[in-house]
């Protein structure tokens, strides 16, 4: 066995069936929520805790809950089309010229519409009980999702990298080989959901990683990232996908491979150069989640003015 760390994530729905089925995995969502907690005002924290009850913001049942209800009949009736709320389909194969434009769908069944929806409902303060908890869960999760670049881009019908198979991943701290049996299909999308995050964690727990990432966030970054232009967040993630995630370390485009076994990812050809990008996306997610929670629950909150 080449794996140095065991997979903790068991996927209920195959990635090949649902586009962009997961984002970051539970560890990534946990880290983002942990970072957000560092930046909540006491008033906002009290408002969040009043909804959570016995839960914590970082709990799997909160930060990753929207993934668990996908395909559930009861929640499909309560929240129709919720499976499509986790991503936005921006085409990374578009030719970049004077006619280039990223266009939102003509409906609200996408992440750019859902984040402001749940933020607005929480800010109004009229939700009670399970509905309030669900709204908080959706907001926490979707802010995480939108910072996973493969949730904001696709290329030639690859479903956010879900159909681009990965044969092996050989990081310094996390690895698997073609002979290993994993719980879900390996892909470029799963590389960003899980493998790169596990490599970044290097055997540590999410709280330790969040603490380290939090220490690396500058006041200038907080001012720059703290805004609620969700479309701008999505476009930013799109460009991260297009310029970074879909490219190897040497700048070559990620191979257009649809058939297995797929590509072998190594520290030299992909992994090490993409870890700082993963770290920054998690940091952005944490700061922006805190911003939305502060503006939703603390009427006196005043973000730092931008320079």
Which of 6, 64, 21 has the alpha carbon at shortest distance from 192? 21
Whether residue 231 has pLDDT greater than 80: yes
Per-residue model confidence (pLDDT) at position 96: 86
Cα angle 249-252-257, degrees, rounded to a multiple of 5:
105
Give me the percent of the chain exceeding a pLDDT of 90.
84
Whether residue 22 has pLDDT greater than 70: no
Whether 166 and 262 have beta carbons less than 8 Å apart is answered as: yes
Tell me which of 305 and 219 has the higher pLDDT.
219
What band does 69 get if pLDDT is binned at 50, 70 and 90?
very high
What band does 99 get if pLDDT is binned at 50, 70 and 90?
confident
d(CA 214, CA 235): 24
Whether residue 15 has pLDDT greater than 80: no
Average pLDDT over residues 72-87: 97
184-194: per-residue pLDDT in tens? 789 999 999 99
Average pLDDT over residues 44-55: 98
Per-residue model confidence (pLDDT) at position 23: 67
Instruction: Look at the domain 25-297 and name its fold.
Output: P1 Nuclease (1.10.575)
Per-residue model confidence (pLDDT) at position 287: 99
Whether residue 227 has pLDDT greater than 80: yes
Q: What backbone torsions phi and psi does residue 176 show, to the nearest 5 degrees?
A: -150, 155
- Provide the CB-side half-sphere exposure for 128 (13 A, CA): 0
Average pLDDT over residues 247-253: 97
Average pLDDT over residues 152-170: 95
Summary mean pLDDT of the chain: 91
The pTM of the full predicted model, rounded to 2 decimals, is 0.91
Q: Which helix (H) or strand (E) holds 168?
A: strand 166-170
The SS3 call for residue 56 is: coil
Whether residue 4 has pLDDT greater than 60: no
Whether residue 162 has pLDDT greater than 60: yes
Average pLDDT over residues 41-55: 98
- 186 Cβ partners below 8 Å, 6+ apart? 165, 166, 167, 169, 176, 262
């Amino acid at each position: 066995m080449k794996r140095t760390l065991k997979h903790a994530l068991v996927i209920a729905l195959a990635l090949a069936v649902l586009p962009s089925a997961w984002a970051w995995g539970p560890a990534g969502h946990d880290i983002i929520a942990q970072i957000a907690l560092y930046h909540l005002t006491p008033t906002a924290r009290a408002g969040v805790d009043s909804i959570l009850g016995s839960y914590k913001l970082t709990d799997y049942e909160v930060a990753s809950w929207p993934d668990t209800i996908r395909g559930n009949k009861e929640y499909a009736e309560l929240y129709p089309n919720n499976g499509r709320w986790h991503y936005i389909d921006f085409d990374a194969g578009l030719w970049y010229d004077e006619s280039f434009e990223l266009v939102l769908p003509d409906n609200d069944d996408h992440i750019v519409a859902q984040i402001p929806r749940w933020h607005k409902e929480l800010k109004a303060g009229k939700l009670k009980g399970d509905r309030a908890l669900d709204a908080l869960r959706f907001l926490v999760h979707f802010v995480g999702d939108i910072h996973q670049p493969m949730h904001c881009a696709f290329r030639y019908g690859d479903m956010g990298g879900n159909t681009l198979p990965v044969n092996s991943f050989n990081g310094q701290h996390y690895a698997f080989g073609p002979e290993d049996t994993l719980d879900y299909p390996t892909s470029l999308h799963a590389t960003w959901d899980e493998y790169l995050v596990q490599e970044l964690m290097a055997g540590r727990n999410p709280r330790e990683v969040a603490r380290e990432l939090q220490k690396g966030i500058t006041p200038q970054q907080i001012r720059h990232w703290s805004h609620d232009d969700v479309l701008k967040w999505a476009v930013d993630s799109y460009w991260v996908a297009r310029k970074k995630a879909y490219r190897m370390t040497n700048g070559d485009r990620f191979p257009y491979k649809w058939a297995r076994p797929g590509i072998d990812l190594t520290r030299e050809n992909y992994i090490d150069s993409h870890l700082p990008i993963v770290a920054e996306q998690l940091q952005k997610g944490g700061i922006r989640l805190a911003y939305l929670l502060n503006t939703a629950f603390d009427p006196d909150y005043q973000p730092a003015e931008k320079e």
